[in-house]
Chain A
Amino acid sequence: MKRHLISAADLSRGDALLILDTAEELASLADRPIKKLPTLRGRTVVNLFYEDSTRTRISFEAAAKRLSADVINFSAKGSSVAKGESLKDTALTLEAMGADAVVIRHGASGAAHRLASWVRGSVLNAGDGTHEHPTQALLDAFTIRRRLKGTGARGAGLDGLRVTIVGDVLHSRVARSNVLLLSTLGAEVTLAAPPTLLPLAVGSWPCAVSYDLDSELPKSDVVMMLRVQQERMTAAYFPSVREYSRRYGLDAARMARLPGPAIVMHPGPMNRGVEIAAEVADSVRSTIVEQVANGVTTRMAVLYLLLGGMEFPATGVAQ
């Protein structure tokens, strides 16, 4: 493992499997009377959130608290950021307060990477602009493995599974991290989206591309729907929401074309009726609620592996 978790590309197959296997052990904690471990006692985790978030922030907070770390929540609203403080100055303040790890969500791609050069602790990227969201990819991989390979699948990758990621890939940090991580774990990833919602460099990604969702569905083991990110859209990427929904939305009729045990995922928050129909989101194929529960477990595994052992050397990237 490296010292920071900035990109899913930082994880080797071995690292990713170690995280998933650790998460599998930690999952049993949810069934115990005392859902807490003393492992990170005395360590401080700062949640530095420049963008709104419900599940990611709460998930990281719950994960850190279950490992007995002290958690400091920081959101840009109501802080000195509103007075014009720069990211660097905020980072140095947190550094002076002795943060062992900083979990950062920021609207600018690359913010987490930049932060990593300013602080001594570990930096965990919780979403930077349209770049990456590696812990989401890890919890998705964990959810896929649990659902399709069983809870006893320690050490197993996702080899041979076909994953179709559908929708607004262009603005999605979740899609990028998932393409990188799932292909590292051996899955065959296909992106299904209108050409206007695919990044220019998609040809260099380790995945296939299709403009036709209907032809991909019958051969998919996993369908991952992405949210249409209206707030990041500065131009007209499709004629109308209704037309988008017709061609790329997952409704009950489309879901019926999925093979046997195939699952439907969504990173949340959902736009019901746009990219996913309510009856699909609430169906037995849907893993949306499990993804939230698995998020806490997976983030505990990441925090434990980054902070639980010996401290990393002060500079550079450790083994």
Chain B
Amino acid sequence: MCAASIPVAGRDGLAVLDAEEIRRALTRIAHEILERTHGGDRVILLGIPTRGVPLARRLAGRIAEFEGHTIPCGSLDVTMHRDDLRLHPARALGRTDLPPGGVDGKTVILVDDVLYSGRTVRAALDALNDLGRPRAVQLAVLVDRGHRELPIRADYVGKNLPTSQREVVHVLLTEVDGEDSVMISGEGRQP
């Protein structure tokens, strides 16, 4: 991999998904969303910053390609609802950007890059609760790496990636990092 061009720690790890595979996974998720929601009726996609936001936009783009109609797409920052705020210095907030019309009565699909402990998703559910009352909430992730600490599961998964808790999973996306790939690094995984 081109180890020198992206400023992310641990990207000298093993690549588990390349740009093509990410593209195919998102295409499949987009089809699954259309199937499960009857053509994307009253659906909105909310990406969780940072990397959930470009993923949500890509899914919306795919759906527009297949169906010819656009699905509203926004972002949902969960920082103020996290349960680990007091373990770190106060962090900068991400953007919350709701599509016009809000979330009331809609099927909200939360989009994130990695599903791990499930705590981010719990925070997102709390944040969503303050914004209105969706008809249903679903979860789409690019990578599910296991080790859940809360009773949460994803409805749409790009790739199930069995990991050890000592390993680190990095999702790199062109919009943020300049390239598309999913890397895993840590003990026993060095190439």
Contact = CB atoms under 8 A, between A and B. Distances in A.
Given A32-B131, A310-B87, A304 B80 contact: yes
Nearest to B104: A33
Contact of B92 (A18, A33, A307): A18
Interface in A11-59: 18, 21-22, 25-26, 28, 32-34, 36-39
Interface residues of A, number: 23
Given A36-B130, A38-B126, A21 B86 contact: no
Contacts of B126: 38
A305 interface: yes
Interface string A294-314: 000000000011111111000
A207 interface: no
Nearest to A311: B86
B123 to A, nearest CB: 10
Contacts of A28: 96
B120 to A, nearest CB: 15
B103 to A, nearest CB: 11
A38 B81 contact: yes
B90 interface: yes
Interface residues of B, number: 19
B94 A25 contact: yes
Interface string B70-111: 000000010011000111111111111000000000000000
A319 interface: yes
Contacts, number: 52
Contacts of B94: 25
Interface string A234-245: 000000000000
A197 interface: no
Contacts of A94: none
B132 interface: yes
A37 B81 contact: yes
A25 B130 contact: no
A317 to B, nearest CB: 13
A25 B93 CA distance: 7
A22 B77 CA distance: 12
A25 B95 contact: yes
Given A37-B80, A37-B81, A39-B80, A310 B96 contact: no
B96 A319 contact: no
A209 interface: no
A304 B93 CA distance: 10
Contact of A26 (B81, B88, B93): B93
A310 B81 CA distance: 15
Contacts of B91: 309
Nearest to A36: B130
Contacts of B88: 309-310
B4 to A, nearest CB: 27
A288 B70 CA distance: 41
B89 A310 contact: yes
A32 B130 contact: yes
Nearest to B95: A25
Contacts of A25: 77, 93-96
A306 B90 CA distance: 7
Contacts of B130: 32-34, 36-37
Contact of A1 (B77, B80, B90): B90
A22 B95 CA distance: 10
A181 B130 CA distance: 34
Of the candidates B93, B96, B126, the one having the most CB atoms from chain A within 10 angstroms of its own CB is: B93
A304 to B, nearest CB: 6
A100 B17 CA distance: 47
Contact of A38 (B80, B87, B90, B96): B80
Contacts of A307: 90
Contact of B86 (A18, A37, A309): A309
Contacts of A306: 90
B77 A319 contact: no
Contacts of A305: 90
Interface string B126-165: 1000111000000000000000000000000000000000
A28 B74 CA distance: 14
Going nearest first, the 3 A-B pairs with the smallest beta carbon separation are A309-B90, A25-B93, A308-B90
30 contacts: A1-B89, A21-B92, A22-B92, A22-B93, A25-B77, A25-B93, A25-B95, A25-B96, A32-B130, A33-B131, A33-B132, A36-B130, A37-B81, A37-B130, A38-B80, A39-B85, A304-B90, A306-B90, A307-B90, A308-B85, A308-B90, A309-B85, A309-B90, A309-B91, A310-B86, A310-B87, A310-B88, A310-B90, A311-B86, A319-B89
